[in-house]
Amino acid sequence: MISIARCNLSALVLLTAMVVCLGDSSPLLGDPAASSSPVYYFDATHLEPTDVRNPQQVRAAWDTLHLIASVQGIVNRRQATLFVRFAKHPDDFWFDNLREQGNWLADRPIQKIQSIDELLQQFQNSLAGAVVYREEDRPTSNLASTIAGVEDRICLRYDPTPGSLYHRAMDSKLAFTANVLKLFRDDGSPLFLGRAGQAIDDTGLPGIPSTGSAKCDAYLWALHRYGKEGGVSPKYLAYYIDAYWLTQPERSSLSNSTLTNHDFYIANRAFFFDLNMWEDDTPVDEPSQPIGADLRTLKAILRSTHDRNAGKIVSMGGFVPWLWKYTDADGHSKHSAVPSEWQMAKVLSAYNTTVDADALGCSAMANASFYQHFPRKERYPQNRRPTVDDLKAKGFIDTEGRVAPLAYALFYMGDYDSAAWLTHHAPLWWRDPARGTIPCGWAFNPNLDQRCPHVLDYVRTHASQQDWFVAGDCGAGYLNPSMLESPRLDPEVHDGVDAWIEHNLLYYHRYDLSITGFVIDGYAPPMGPRVLDAYRKFSPDGIIGQQMPPLSLHGDMPCARMMIDLDGDPKQVGAQIAGFVGEPRPQFFTMRTILKSPTWHKSTMESAQAAPNGDRLRFVDPYTFFLLLKTHLQQAK
């Protein structure tokens, strides 16, 4: 993801076994029984213009989103039942598209729900109770989402103010109000005190010693209560900011509270957390805790999840909440944003956990619990890959098998390792008039079909002959692959390379992929021979890395190092690319762009080819690029 490298801070704040189903590694492929049942539709767009400087508006919006996400996750667990319109874009595009003739929702009636009261009334039989938390006990907002998934409870922030959503829900006297779990004591004091030398709490787990951190105690209480045999998922984790967001909502928009993202993880009974990844720093939300307590707690969560998932790959949604916590942007922490991202990836990778990286600023995504039931195809074949004969016909390879002395340039069009980012941008880029006129190398991580299968289906079924697809960083999920090798951070965690191979083979087969467009090593060691051997099994046509030789072969797999990230005015970027062209010989340029449109790429290509030496530039698709590179390197042996 490398979130900050893709655009500046102010812009981010403003953006406010092969042929098998994925089975338990991905949600259902669609439920035919739902085909005639209504889709319940709730319009929440009135929340979008919430004044984040107004505490009353902010809390009312937070409460509404958290309640909606919990209801939606519960009722959408088994089939697509409740759709929430949160943002006009992209929610309207996808809802309208899915209702087109012949599409998934075309034959389902739509029943609109006009209010929160009606929402609770409609789904009261699906709601087993409520879980209530205080915003002052910040991590308990995440505990509430964990408990909502495991116990089918709606999430309510305690608010004694007359007319608050808490009072409206509780005064409804619906069945769920008779079964309330409070995450604070009867006298209103915190349940978790973080007193070293004492037990975490007195609610049934008295034997667990306190960490000295109220925050960490809360998560360990939830882990002991809901981990192991307690019903929490071994396959999904959710890393989203807790109620600390309410202390500084003005730093960004309501959408970046990421409460809209909770529904999918509640539906899939994920464990929610918000913890610092650094062992040498205390978090801004609890600076008095013992140093490294957050990280030790996180490792306990990761280890528990890894073991319960039998060492298979775990999917975590979310990202370092860098604008509020754990980076120097918070005014307390000493690490900057990109290093914090890399530290996150390093730690998670050591426990076989990938990141579905909902980073600022397009961090919000609604309705993933609904979309997860979209009926994916078993396979999505790409365009026919080019052959050596095709490249000879184009003049790229001569009759003796030598690559023509031209400069071959490849755009890695990223970063789409987040379902939220992909859901937002795919409709924009697929309506761009330049798409289909230039070779596009789209780096869409295939594992995003866990949350947005409809998007991957759409881009594949509406692809042109110029649209080509590779896996983004770092395959079927973002992790540091070298951290999968033994020995690991935790010496008792066994080697994860084979689990990574198995995981990727499934996704690469389904989406007809054989190139990995970018591997981010971050703070991890470079990939060694064993990890590169693993990539040969599912990515035989090529791989681009961060820490590897500029151009090389590993066996018969061509490898390249990412040269540069590109941003800015197309004329200036085009001139920059043309400046890479040297004396006539085969040259290979790998360049990364982030959230750039086809029009931007086309303008950049034209500018580059019009610049000095640009007549020797050839912008090619990923499969042409790597076949030329492979041919050249084999000739050079």
Q: What is the pLDDT of residues 574-612, one digit of tens each?
A: 999 999 999 999 999 999 999 999 999 999 999 999 999
Residue 458 near residue 97 (C-beta atoms within 8 A): yes
Cβ contact 68:42 at 8 Å: yes
Supply the angle between the helices 140-151 and 214-226 in degrees, to the nearest 10. 10
* pLDDT band, residue 499 (cuts 50/70/90): very high
Residue with tokens 């209560």: 225
Q: What's the pLDDT score for residue 8?
A: 34
Residues 282-329 pLDDT 10s: 999 999 999 999 999 999 999 999 999 999 999 999 999 999 999 999
DSSP 298-322: HHHHHHHHHHHTTTPPEEEEE---T
Percentage of residues in the chain with pLDDT exceeding 70? 93
pLDDT at 572 over 60: yes
Distance in angstroms (rounded) separating the CA atoms of residues 636 and 633:
5
Neighbours of 109 (CB within 10 A): 9
Mean pLDDT calculated for residue range 23-33: 43
Q: Cβ contacts of residue 531 below 8 Å, gap of 6+?
A: 481, 482, 484, 485, 497
Of 205, 200, 270, nearest in space to 235 by CA: 270
pLDDT at 205: 55
Q: Is the pLDDT at 243 greater than 70, yes or no? A: yes
The torsion angles phi and psi of 505, rounded to 5 degrees, stand at -55, -40
pLDDT(127) > 70 = yes
Indicate the pLDDT class of residue 203, thresholds 50, 70 and 90. Answer: low
Q: In the structure, what pLDDT confidence band is assigned to residue 17 with cuts at 50, 70 and 90?
A: very low
Residue written as tokens 């982030």? 594
Phi, psi of 115 (to 5 degrees): -155, 165
- Where do the structural domains in the chain lie, given as residue ranges? 3-371, 409-595+618-636
pLDDT tens, 244-279? 999 999 999 999 999 999 999 999 999 999 999 999
d(CA 372, CA 455): 11
The yes-or-no verdict on residue 364 having pLDDT over 60 is: yes
Looking at per-residue pLDDT, the higher value among 268 and 3 belongs to 268
Gap between the Cα atoms of 377 and 515, Å rounded:
21
Which of the two residues, 22 and 462, has the higher pLDDT score?
Answer: 462
Average pLDDT of the chain is 93
| pLDDT at residue 16 tops 80 | no
pLDDT of residue 199: 72
Confidence band, pLDDT 50/70/90 cuts, at residue 200: confident
Domain covering 409-595+618-636: architecture: Alpha-Beta Barrel (3.20)
Q: Could you read off the pLDDT of 526-555 as tens digits, one per residue?
A: 999 999 999 999 999 999 999 999 999 999
> What pLDDT score was predicted for residue 201?
64
- Whether the predicted pLDDT of 11 surpasses 80: no
b/e sequence 215-253, b meaning 16+ C-beta within 10 Å:
bbbbbbbbbbbbbeeeebbbbbbbbbbbbbbbeebebbb
Token pair recorded at residue 541: 């046509």
Contacts of 163 (CB under 8 A, 6+ apart): none
Residue 453, pLDDT > 90, answer yes
Q: Distance (Å, rounded) from C-alpha 122 to C-alpha 125?
A: 8
The predicted pLDDT at position 68 comes to 98
pLDDT of residue 230: 85
